[in-house]
Amino acid sequence: MSRVSHKVLVVVAVASMLAACGPSQEDLDVQVAKVRQLQGALNDAEQSQKALEERLASVRAKNATLSKRLSDLGENVSQLQDERSSLQSSVAQLQERERQAQARAATFQELINRFRKAIAAGKLSVRVVRNRMIVELPSGVLFASGSAEVKSSGQTTLAEVASVLKDIPSRDFQVAGHTDDVPIHTARFRNNWDLSTARAVNVVLFLIDHGLAANRLSAAGYADTQPVASNETADGRAHNRRIEIVLLPNLDELPDLSSLEQKPAAKP
């Protein structure tokens, strides 16, 4: 029971006792006035309590709204942090690719500088195809027509090439033989596939004899399947008869394809 209600009951009780004792009209008027005064105070208290309850409800509603906003903000912050981490990872990958590209460019430039004399003499050329450097030697420099044996003048050129390639660390090389589209059929070679492959293998063996590690070399024959000029002219066919030494990319320069690896099926 509130303090105001208690006072009202006390006054009413006092008024009743006075009435039983036969109080005067003046005393009764005074008591009635006190009762009315207390009733007004009670009404004021009730209004104040109602206002406080309304303010409390409003505060609770605002608190719930703020709590939800804070929760949403926390989720947004977590999402932004994840996006930031992803961006940092992407930046790091791009920086690493840029570093690798610069290293490749430096290697290519060094090769060109060291081969400059042979390039000027027409013994070889250097091309970049699909981001791979290719040292190209015309077959006429290395081989007699229809032969896979490296001739003496070609050995001098190949020795120069070997002295440069063996100084390039952590690089593998593929030697590729190419022919024109004129068919060949001899006791030694059944077709242009045989000829192009035999020439590539002999160049690999020569490079090994001149200091290149065997595990850094491979040989391939492409016959006339990858021409670089038209086979309709003698000059074009001469360009197509060639040996290419391709600088293969390092494994760390290749894209990571591990996510594409097929996972073993789950056992039932």
Higher-pLDDT residue of 253, 73? 73
Kindly tell me the burial class for residue 12, based on how many C-beta atoms sit within 10 Å of its own C-beta (0-12, 13-18, 19 or more): middle
Could you tell me which residue, 267 or 103, shows the higher pLDDT?
103
Q: pLDDT of 208-247, one tens digit each?
A: 999 999 999 999 999 999 999 999 999 999 999 999 999 8
CA separation for the pair 104, 96 (Å, rounded): 12
Q: Which fold has domain 102-250?
A: 60s Ribosomal Protein L30; Chain: A; (3.30.1330)
pLDDT band, very low/low/confident/very high, at 66 (cuts 50, 70, 90): confident
- Here the tokens at position 119 are 């390039």
Q: How confident is the model at residue 101 (pLDDT cuts 50, 70, 90)?
A: confident
- Which residues are CB-contacts of 233 (< 8 A; sequence separation ≥ 6)? none
Judged by average pLDDT, the poorest of 12-26, 112-126, 161-175, 181-195 is 12-26
Q: Position of tokens 């008027």?
A: 29
| DSSP state for residue 250 in the 8-state scheme | P
pLDDT bin (cut points 50, 70, 90) of residue 251 is low
